[in-house]
Structure 1
Amino acid sequence: MPIKDFNWVRTNGKWKPKNVPLGYWMVDFDGFFKELRSYGIRPLVSLHSKYELGGAEHGDWKIKIPQKKVFAAIKRYLNRIHDMWEKSSV
């Protein structure tokens, strides 16, 4: 199951979704994870890091920020997914 979050932004007078770091914007992960748990579903998760990561979010070979920052961001959001999943069991 791919997992990502978004926010609405107005660009050239039109509302469009913008990918943002996980768990801070529009998606109700707590409700979503509780619903999955209620059916006994424990999905495999694929984290989509499509927010600004110096080009890494587009698969660029040469990124504009240190590689350590990219890996730290991904680790931070993997931990966030885990924490949100664990919180939903309460």
Structure 2
Amino acid sequence: MRIEWNQKAFKDVRYGRTSDIISELEGHAERIADDASAMARARTRWVHGRHGTSPGRWRASVVTADYKAQRDNARNNTILRALDN
């Protein structure tokens, strides 16, 4: 028996090229931002690879929204703690 792997599907999953993966990333980022507080916001974007050697991929991030939130996050690790929820 021979198994033929779908290499294109593996790359689509790895680099986040499908709308399902992008919406999953956005959902995780939004949940973490909501759990952190009203002072955090989520962002997803396409990031290009380094020096043209890799095709890049979708990335999600959660950041503080203002200076007050930055101080709170520095003191209490608010965003990091939201990962555990």
TM-score of the two chains, using structure 2 as the length reference: 0.27
Q: Computing the radius of gyration over CA atoms, which structure comes out larger, 1 or 2?
A: 2
- More helix by percentage: 2
Bigger relative contact order (CA 8 A; separation at least 6): 1
